[in-house]
């Protein structure tokens, strides 16, 4: 019985960890853009799972703080990966902040 309770407390954490490992391996061996995009997407999936109530090892603080932190960090990682080699998109985003 305690075995089952221990497994359930992990929740989706192994799935998120495996996705993060895949993202880092993509960064190292394939392409930093695809790896960064994958890593950011996995972080946003973690935010969605935390929002849906699948906490397990993903719960560090309160639910709202976890969801906001993971969402913002995942969005920034995805945006950074998209901007990595795209000069036109960089200029467009910088022009939005220049006003």
pLDDT for position 6: 47
Domain boundaries, the chain: 2-98
Question: What does the block give as tokens for 56?
Answer: 């397990």
Q: What is the reported pTM?
A: 0.74
pLDDT tens for the chain, 99 residues: list them.
445 444 456 667 788 889 999 999 998 999 888 999 999 999 999 888 888 877 666 666 777 888 898 899 999 999 888 888 888 887 887 888 876
Whether 78 contacts 37, CB under 8 Å: yes
pLDDT for position 89: 80
Give, to the nearest 10 degrees, the angle between helix 13-29 and helix 32-52: 170
């Amino acid at each position: 019985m305690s075995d089952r309770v221990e497994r359930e407390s992990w929740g989706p954490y192994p799935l998120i960890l495996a996705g993060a490992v895949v993202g880092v391996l993509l960064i190292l061996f394939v392409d930093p853009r695809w790896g960064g995009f994958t890593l950011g997407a996995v972080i946003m999936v973690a935010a969605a799972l935390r929002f849906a109530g699948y906490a397990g090892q993903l719960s560090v603080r309160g639910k709202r703080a976890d969801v906001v932190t993971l969402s913002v960090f995942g969005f920034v990682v995805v945006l950074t990966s998209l901007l990595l080699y795209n000069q036109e998109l960089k200029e467009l985003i910088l022009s939005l902040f220049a006003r």
